[in-house]
Structure formats: structure tokens, C-alpha cells
Amino acid sequence: MDIVTYSHRNAVSTIDNDPDLRELWEEIKWVLTHISDEEIIECFENENRKAKSISEAINKLIKTQLTKRKWNYESPIFADPNYDGSNGVWRLDFAKKGIALEVAFNHGGNCSWNLIKPVLSSELNHVTKAIQTKIGIIISATDEMKKAGGFDAAVGAYEKYLEYLAPLNNLLVTPLLIVGLKAPKTFKIEHLQVDNRKIGQVVRI
């Protein structure tokens, strides 16, 4: 996949000046840019249920590659048992050393929370922390990926995350790198109406 990035609070400089962060970012970038259209199609078409978009397929491919590289999946932010993340709220999608990583293909209403979670993992807090990170990375679909990949219109896209940065600037005190996934080059998803639901199918282009 091709990607586009935006640096909030000097995220790129922070990464470039820290060898550990630079190595981790190169790891993430390699995983994303080496996911091929064919891998996405294969994963999408092998789903047990008929999916509407390729979001689940991409999520699965990212998870497989990151966990293989020892990234902690669903990492709790806090050590306090009252905030251990067992309900899914106080957890990051992935964490490793100094990076908190969110793969965000959910509703646009969750954009602000997805941006705030890496800040919680990096800043001092009244609640005892389980991890301490230096920077957050948010991976989302661009508008062109949403359209080509069959995503629901309500999904928060890369462009929407950029819109949230200005009003939340005083809250988002941690460097954040916003990553947008660009549309596949060799296929798109078109929807078929089956009973009361839409099912995606691959159309080669």
C-alpha cells in the first residue's frame, strides 16, 4: 500500500532524532508498504462472512505482521485494575517501546478518542501507567481509500483526523504522526445488495 503522512508537534523530527523510534517507524512503514493488493484481495475473499469493505482484511494483515515483530497487541495504558482495559476502552491497538499505535477504521465520532489515547500513554497521569510511550501513530484510510475500499461513509478518514488537530491542539501535547492509507491501484470494491445488507465484491481495474 502507498501511504501519506502528517506530522503533529514535530513528530517526524522526534522520530528522526531518536534511533529507537526511527527503527520502530521503519518497521511500521515496511509492514504497510509491503502489503500488496493481491494479499488484500486474498484476505478479503477468504473471510468466513461476506464483508462490506476491505477494512477487516487490512486490519488482519497489519496485525499478523506487527505481532510477528513482537508488537504488543491491545496493550493496556494503565496498570490500575479499575482501568486495565478489559472493556476495550483503556487500551492501545499496539505498543512497542516508545510508540503507541492505533489502527483506526472506526466511526468518525471516535477520531478525538483515538488521538487522545496515545497522549494518555505518554503523559504523566494520576492513574498508575502500564506503559510509557514517547509518540503516537494513527493509521487511517484516506478519503480515496474509503471510496475504493468499500468503507462505510461514517468511517473517520485521514483527512478528518487532520481537521481534529487544530481544535484539539492544546490537548494533543504529544507528537503524533497521522498516516493515511491510499487506494489500491489494481482493484476497487463495489457493493451488492443481498437481502438487507451490502456485500463487497472485488472489481479489477
Query: Tell me: the pLDDT tens digits for 84-127?
Result: 777 778 999 999 999 999 999 999 999 999 999 999 999 988 89
Backbone angles phi, psi at 76, to 5 degrees: -70, 145
CATH number of 3-204: 3.40.91.20
CA distance 26 to 28: 5
Give the pLDDT confidence score for residue 103 in this predicted structure: 98
The domain spans of the chain are 3-204
pLDDT band at residue 196 under the 50/70/90 scheme: confident
Whether 195 contacts 50, CB under 8 Å: no
The set of residues, in sequence order, having a beta carbon less than 8 Å from that of 198 and lying 6+ positions away, is 52, 191, 192
CA distance 36 to 84: 36
